[in-house]
Structure 1
Amino acid sequence: MTGHLIYIPVGIAKCFPVQHAINIISAIFLGPRYAVLNAFVISLLRNILGVGSLLAFPGSMIGAFLAGVLFKKTANRFYTIGGEVFGTGILGGLFSYPIAKFLMGKEIMAFFFVIPFLVSTIGGSFIGYLLVRIFENNKIFKELKEVDR
């Protein structure tokens, strides 16, 4: 797993675009529950391995949830990406403030994480979208999809 090596350092946060790609893939193929579970487990592993921070939880999980719900309701990939970007970049960035201030003891501004989280999630969501397109055009994936019916 080399996804933890690609990150954007932002003060006490480490933004992982690969996390957002996984959120998009999980939201589309697995739905909101498993997308959130994936985001939680990956955030937990990042913290256990020392390559993440507590800030991994709100952004990744909120983004995965919104992406999964929007895909489930609309089946529209662009709404799914929008859910991931808004959930991680805006809501996750804002929810990270109290975690950073009260749990991590860092004095920062409330909107400090929004821009870096947006940069990370936009890039990662685009990568996830491209991977979904590749998977759907793959012969093996098409055969698995038919078996599932």
Structure 2
Amino acid sequence: MRYKKVRKLTYLAIMIALDVVLSPILRIEGMAPMSSVINVFAGVLMGPLYATTMAFICGIIRMAFLGIPPLALTGAVFGAFLAAELYRIFRNIYASMAGEIIGTGIIRSLLSYPVMVVFTGASNQFYWFIYTPRFLGAAVLGSIGAWFVWRKVKDLSVVRQMKSLFN
């Protein structure tokens, strides 16, 4: 039992490291599609609790060390949770992709407006849908990227072991 917990935490740490390292490297201004790739993978492989934990910790790390505003936290959590929850319900990657697109592309973009108003104090410079095109674009690009990568890695033994460990 203890061995399984250590393995789960190790995989969680690896996913956090991948997200933190890949997101800033493969980034378009205002868009982080690699974060969506990792969220879809976390949703498929680790389930809602670990995927949401991973996204939350990644958001905290990005805010603390990379100087990214609270937007790093608002969206990743919803995208990862919905990606994992929809995968848990429907058991296919398309459901996970849809969860990421809805959670990051729509929910995150709408919740980012009030967060940034509080963070910057400038309510007249923003409007509700200011972040939607960028976040939706990043979520769609990242989900499609996750699908391409998933097609290649789904049969690897380490991926199957990780998936069976969390399920």
TM-score normalised by the chain length of structure 2 = 0.78
Matches within 5 A, 1:90-109: 90-106=106-122, 107-109=125-127
1:83 maps to which of 71, 76, 99: 99
Structure 1 residue 126: Cα displacement = 1.4
Q: How many residues align?
A: 144
Q: Runs of 5+ in structure 2 lacking a partner?
A: 1-20
Quick one: distance in 2 between partners of 1:146 and 1:99? 35
1:68-98: CA deviation from partner (whole Å, max 9, x where unpaired): 1100011021111011001111110000000
Distance in 2 (CA, whole Å) between partners of 1:53 and 1:146 is 32
* 1:6 aligned residue (26, 46, 54): 26
1:26-105 aligned within 5 A = 26-105=42-121
Give the structure with the larger strand fraction: 1
Give the unaligned 5+ runs of structure 1: none
Using the TM superposition, give the Cα deviation of residue 15 of structure 1 relative to its aligned residue in structure 2, in angstroms.
2.2
% same residue: 26
Instruction: Name the TM-score, length of structure 1 as normaliser.
Output: 0.86
State whether residues 4 and 46 of structure 1, in contact with CA within 8 Å, keep that contact through their aligned partners in structure 2: no
Following TM superposition, where does structure 1 have runs of at least 4 consecutive aligned residues deviating by more than 3 angstroms?
139-142, 144-149
